[in-house]
């Protein structure tokens, strides 16, 4: 056991903790919509597609995040065009995903910088978060949170009851597009912290756990944010405590997230008997 407090005096640890908190906030906010729209695969797809775009960013601007963020907009448009809800375009997402990963590996063969830059994309590198990364993350978190606040009700309407929402005049298609955009940008940011391979642990699992506890939408959202915060911050702090083991923070994050889900499922079963 190491003294967590000692580490928290270092800027790298402070940056990481702020990054974990911001990422947990946005992913916890949008996770209930991902669950309601049954878009887990779109999350997974856009997370993995952050890999080729990040490599492209490394090649073009020597910066993975810029590439991934720009790429996420392209990915959002592609997913939205292929059908943005109810797992509509799952097959098509799979096709794009397969090609995208191949493209990523292909691009990687042209990249002669630090290989860790590229693997960081896959598994996350919370301790490598820079002040500039934090600024970008802060802006993304603020914009996404604000948007969720404004569109919450019509987005929820069009997620759970699209036919009636459309008849009631809700711009269902535009909201679907906006949501995919918020989703892919968020996912790209989350990927920074937990890696593209582990994004679902913050963008789905918290909502899945929350839905076991309650069916009240606002409570689901609140719990989802809470669980995401517990997983992200708790995971990072644990990684400090066990820093000698060399286990990455993203591993602890996924473990805590899954643990919260298991507890929720068990509690749901117990309450029902």
Is residue 35 at the binding interface for other proteins, with CB under 8 A as the rule? yes
Which residues inside 198-227 make contact with other proteins, applying CB under 8 A? 207, 210-212, 215-217, 220
Is residue 32 at the binding interface for other proteins, with CB under 8 A as the rule? yes
Is residue 43 at the binding interface for other proteins, with CB under 8 A as the rule? no
We find the least distance from the C-beta atom of residue 246 to other proteins, in angstroms, to be 38
Is residue 160 at the binding interface for other proteins, with CB under 8 A as the rule? yes
Of 58 and 182, nearer to other proteins (C-beta) is 182
Stretch that binds other proteins, among 77-85, 132-140, 161-169, 198-206 (CB under 8 A): 161-169
We find the least distance from the C-beta atom of residue 138 to other proteins, in angstroms, to be 21
Is residue 13 at the binding interface for other proteins, with CB under 8 A as the rule? no
Evaluate the CA torsion angle 85, 87, 92, 95 in order and state its sign: positive
Out of 108, 165, 181, 231, which residue is the one contacting other proteins (CB under 8 A)?
165
Of 127 and 165, nearer to other proteins (C-beta) is 165
Closest listed residue to residue 205, CA positions, set 63, 53, 72, 40? 40
Is residue 164 at the binding interface for other proteins, with CB under 8 A as the rule? yes
Which residues inside 227-246 make contact with other proteins, applying CB under 8 A? none
Is residue 16 at the binding interface for other proteins, with CB under 8 A as the rule? no
Of 26 and 209, nearer to other proteins (C-beta) is 209
Which residues inside 44-103 make contact with other proteins, applying CB under 8 A? none
We find the least distance from the C-beta atom of residue 58 to other proteins, in angstroms, to be 39
Is residue 163 at the binding interface for other proteins, with CB under 8 A as the rule? yes
We find the least distance from the C-beta atom of residue 193 to other proteins, in angstroms, to be 25
> What is the 3-class SS of the chain, one letter each residue?
CCCHHHHCCCHHHHHHHHHHHHHHHHHHHHHHHHHHCCCHHHHHHHHHCHHHHHHHHHHHHCCHHHHHHHHHHHHHHHHHHCCCCCCCCHHHHHHHHHHHHHHHHHHHCCCCCCHHHHHHHHHCCHHHCCHHHHHHHHHHHHHHHHHHHHHHHHHHHHHHCHHHHHHCCCCHHHHHHHHHHHHHHHHHHHHHHHCHHHCHHHHCHHHHHHHHHCCCHHHHHHHHHHHHHHHHHHHHHHHHHCHHHCCCHHHHHHHHHHHHHHHHHHHHHHHHC
CA distance 66 to 132: 11
Binding residues for other proteins, per CB under 8 A? 32, 35-36, 38, 149-154, 156-157, 160-161, 163-170, 207, 210-212, 215-217, 220
């Amino acid at each position: 056991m190491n003294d967590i407090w000692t580490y928290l005096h270092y800027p790298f640890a402070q940056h990481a903790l702020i990054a974990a908190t911001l990422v947990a906030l946005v992913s916890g906010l949008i996770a209930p919509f991902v669950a309601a729209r049954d878009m887990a695969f779109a999350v997974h797809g856009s997370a993995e597609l952050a890999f080729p775009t990040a490599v492209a960013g490394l090649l073009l601007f020597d910066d993975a995040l810029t590439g991934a963020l720009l790429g996420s907009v392209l990915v959002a448009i592609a997913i939205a065009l292929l059908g943005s809800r109810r797992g509509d375009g799952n097959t098509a997402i799979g096709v794009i995903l397969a090609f995208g990963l191949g493209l990523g590996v292909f691009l990687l063969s042209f990249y002669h910088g630090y290989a860790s830059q590229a693997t960081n994309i896959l598994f996350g590198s919370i301790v490598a978060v820079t002040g500039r990364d934090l600024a970008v993350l802060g802006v993304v978190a603020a914009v996404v949170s604000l948007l969720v606040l404004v569109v919450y009700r019509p987005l929820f309407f069009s997620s759970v009851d699209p036919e009636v929402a459309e008849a009631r005049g809700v711009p269902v298609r535009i909201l679907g597009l906006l949501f995919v955009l918020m989703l892919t940008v968020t996912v790209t940011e989350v990927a920074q912290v937990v890696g593209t391979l582990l994004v679902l642990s913050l963008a789905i699992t918290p909502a899945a756990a929350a839905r076991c506890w309650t069916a009240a939408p606002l409570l689901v959202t609140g719990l989802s944010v809470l669980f995401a915060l517990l997983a992200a911050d708790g995971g990072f702090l644990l990684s400090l405590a066990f820093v000698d083991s060399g286990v990455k923070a993203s591993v602890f994050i996924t473990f805590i997230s899954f643990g919260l889900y298991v507890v929720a499922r068990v509690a749901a079963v117990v309450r029902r008997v």
